[in-house]
Amino acid sequence: MKLIKASHSLNIKDEIEILGNGILDIKGCHNSGRLIGEVTIIEQDAFGNVLFTSTDKNDIVLPGSIYVLEQMFKIRAANENEFKVTKPTIPGILVTDSINDEKIFGFMVGIGGEESNALSVVNYSDTSLSKVVPIKLTDNNAISANESTYFVTDTTLKTGFTAYYVKAIETPVIKSVYTDGSGDVTEPVINKPISTYAECYCNLSSNDLREYFRYTDNSVTNCRVNTLGLVAGLPVTTGSSTIYKDVRVVTGINFRTRYLDNDENTLKIIYRVYCI
């Protein structure tokens, strides 16, 4: 009996066991399989000085697997509606369910990624992040959040306020580079290793998260974040603004708690998703 471990494109890993009778037994290995994501978190002060940095890998979750396969084959999964974070109705607007328009557009954060100084496991069956918190909480009588930056709203968290749970990713690009650092790939060279990835920024500014913790704790002393995930959705334009329908979490990463316990520090998060 021979065991072959095959890492597929996007590294959603399976174990393929060739039995004595020549039958292939394919076993899902989702705890170790990943949509390869390299996530670098950089904490900076108000002057841009780096206070902390770390790099780790993310995990793909079930809604993310469905999303990737739907995009590859341009068909809807039979049970895909069961794994949506939100399905907002839009009165008076005819929404065309178009796979071609659906995209990864933002990220969510939470505070359930580390408990009692131990990192929690991102479970493949998760349909959301652990203990999601709003990135922005704004007074309805004041200036609203930038509608091109913050999405997925809730008006029930605090009377007279709107909570925003998704923030837009910044400057996504796709790159192919040589792994030896010699530059971008223009004409592939045989036997010279190449990395191909999409890169975006998931940044938390000095204006993010604080208002939520001021509301729950009357202070920013415990303002923190320790889990993050990319989200996908279907954009729908109403007037001059765009909202996202059928939002779902694609990836998740838990990391050591970072405290944003003042009004100045920021988190610069560089997110790379590899296809190899």
Contact 88, 94 (CB under 8 A): no
Condensed to tens digits (0 to 9), the pLDDT of residues 55-76 reads 888 888 889 999 999 999 999 8
Condensed to tens digits (0 to 9), the pLDDT of residues 122-147 reads 988 888 899 999 999 999 887 666 87
Condensed to tens digits (0 to 9), the pLDDT of residues 74-131 reads 998 887 777 777 655 555 555 667 889 999 999 999 999 999 889 998 988 888 899 9
Bridge-based pairing of strands 150-154 and 118-119 is: unpaired
* Sequence-distant (≥ 6) Cβ neighbours of residue 141 within 8 angstroms: 160
Q: Where are the domains of the chain?
A: 1-33, 35-274
Average pLDDT over residues 236-240: 81
The pTM score is: 0.83
- Other C-beta atoms closer than 10 Å to the C-beta of 163 total 22
Average pLDDT over residues 20-32: 35
Residue 250 has pLDDT above 80, yes or no: yes
